[in-house]
Structure 1
């Protein structure tokens, strides 16, 4: 036979702090008569919350003062940059990814908790975003409409205080930066599942912009539609979205027509406008475009990640861990021409992280090669390698150098 007892007790803990305990225990005949078995303990604090809240208020007051002091220093930095820019006619750049990387690394070293590193990053992302906006009106062109992964990646890096400018296609991002309609642009460059975004690569070959930063975004695709699964006859998405989910679509919607569009958010717009249509896109598009979520995380690779590049009119200064992106062409009539060019990177101790090719558009079967190597183009080893590379190439173009954000494998 089991007997249950419950008692509410008030206990004084320390000076001026009272805690109320709700004790529940059970006794059976097998228990020793003098022994109680405590099974559940719930607590309701009756401490003086006003004193703790007063402490929070005091800290908030200090934080506001410190944040405004930091903002004033940021304004002074902007003025110093502007003065230096006026003296050498260069464009004022207020977003410095190398400096940002240093700040985040310092925060992680200083952080002793209980705040997680990600929480601290999110807080300082907005602090730095506000500082950028104080120094200069900044706009970011991205592949729209709102809700695309490009939009999410830009927001992840640059926060809420800058302006975001959606455009219809990737080429428009480059055009906006070149014509100074936008301060910076963000374009998808490659995906860990489906490879290089060829439209971005083609634009880099034709453009005069420079890479300033890279951003990695874990991409989780969803299937959105206002039709039931058995009524879905077509699926819209960006070619990358369709490619990243092709196994899932083959299994669950084998008869649905797959229709590529310019962005995942455009796919959501189409799905919202048509009966029997679905979109492969981000979960955020469900609320933006009034769609139901039929399935989450439908990407074929759970580690599905897209790498974005931030472009501007110039690159950032060198740090101690940079990558450089270049493209070049070789004389295809010369045996070993490409081999000779690539060997230069090995000879100068530069690691290669990516090599790709695209038709040059000049004549059939003539290709432009794009290479990403370690180092910054301002550093001597890279400069020497590029000078040597020119001996084997018809042309060599530096697309920019940027701080490495890739985590060691």
Structure 2
């Protein structure tokens, strides 16, 4: 006789246990929220800025899960389950919202969802600067912005807005990006292609090889590209597969990115950075007096002197006067650490307008 009924009964029993354990965990998370409020000196009804999203703590949890996991669930599946458990716990403690470059279906939307799960509110914005504004004005708790791509490099719009913002980097996340060509027209009937500049840049070899004579039109987001392609005969969009269902388009060709390992790095921004972990990165901006020979070289040497590894160096026009640049440096360590404190002090000898944009746990894929 089949043992299926007994196995189903065991599943039912385990589900009951899971529900009880999950609710017990949720109650403990509420106790943690109350303890955080108590530490601020606020009463239970006061509106205080309690940081319920702790990327450093989450990193520790994921590492522990990987260490404890003996299967048959793989690590990715286990992490996805706990992502939703932690998302629900965050929502229990505080109403959390995150601004992203919309409309729904953009890679920014997917990256935010991957990081914060289903229980927070997602607020689409028309442009990247609107994401910064939403966080600065307190309209959303957090924001997420594309920072750089492994194929097409830095997202210059994001760099430019970091020059004039008061927000701070709180976390980073990486999203493997598979670009698709979506349209309701056949490939040989496509006359124009819409996408974000990054989307066009990440697929330029494929586009040149397969539809070289089509007009390429840059728009504010990949999902906006899908919206436009859905309304125009002969139009296509370079965007994510999810946009096909969202905007009623067909997948003409999937995975058209020039590099198979195409990955975009996103930064999660908020009012403040997280507390130190044992593996952090810090993002700093500064300017130099270009009339002083070797000023930039001297400034960068400071990081070497304190054993701070450099992961990214970039520059953008300051917008204040011609040929005046703001330099971006990402280094190892947390701004509360003694090495970075000393380095920043020494940096003042060679650099001007030094700003720490934030410190965050290192999540770079190995």
TM-score with structure 2 setting the length: 0.98
2:334 aligned with 1:376: yes
2:31 aligned with 1:73: no
* Cα pair 1:248 1:298 within 8 Å, conserved: yes
* Cα pair 1:209 1:311 within 8 Å, conserved: yes
Find 2:18's aligned residue among 63, 66, 70.
63
User: Unmatched 5+ residue regions in structure 2?
Assistant: none
Find 2:284's aligned residue among 307, 326, 335.
326
Counterpart of 1:270?
228
SS at match of 2:36: helix
Counterpart of 1:286?
244
Counterpart of 1:343?
301
**Offset of residue 197 of structure 1:** 0.2
Q: Deviations over 1:42-98 (max 9, x none)?
A: xxxxx2211111111111111000000000000011111122234699721100000
**Offset of residue 349 of structure 1:** 0.3
Counterpart of 2:345?
387
Write the mapping of 1:157-176 to structure 2, written as runs, cut at 5 A.
157-176=115-134
TM-score with structure 1 setting the length: 0.88
Find the aligned partners of 1:366 and 1:245 in 2 and give their Cα distance: 32
Counterpart of 1:98?
56
Write the mapping of 1:210-289 to structure 2, written as runs, cut at 5 A.
210-289=168-247
Find the aligned partners of 1:322 and 1:263 in 2 and give their Cα distance: 30
Find the aligned partners of 2:168 and 2:293 in 1 and give their Cα distance: 32
SS at match of 2:185: coil
Counterpart of 1:3?
none
Counterpart of 2:78?
120
Find the aligned partners of 1:213 and 1:98 in 2 and give their Cα distance: 8
* Cα pair 2:169 2:268 within 8 Å, conserved: yes
Find 2:149's aligned residue among 169, 191, 214.
191
Spell out structure 1 runs of 4+ moving beyond 2 A.
85-91
> Higher mean Cα deviation, 234-243 or 52-61?
52-61
Find 1:82's aligned residue among 30, 37, 44.
37
* Cα pair 1:85 1:91 within 8 Å, conserved: no
* Cα pair 2:310 2:330 within 8 Å, conserved: yes
Give the root-mean-square deviation of aligned CA atoms.
1.2
Higher strand share: 1
User: Unmatched 5+ residue regions in structure 1?
Assistant: 1-17, 19-46
Find the aligned partners of 2:40 and 2:181 in 1 and give their Cα distance: 48
SS at match of 2:206: helix
Find 1:147's aligned residue among 102, 105, 112.
105
SS at match of 2:163: helix
Structure showing greater relative contact order (alpha-carbon pairs closer than 8 Å, 6 or more residues apart): 2
Q: Deviations over 1:138-175 (max 9, x none)?
A: 00100000000000000001000000000000000000
Total equivalences in the alignment: 363
Find the aligned partners of 2:343 and 2:150 in 1 and give their Cα distance: 29
SS at match of 1:302: coil
Find 2:91's aligned residue among 123, 126, 133.
133
SS at match of 1:278: strand
SS at match of 1:206: coil
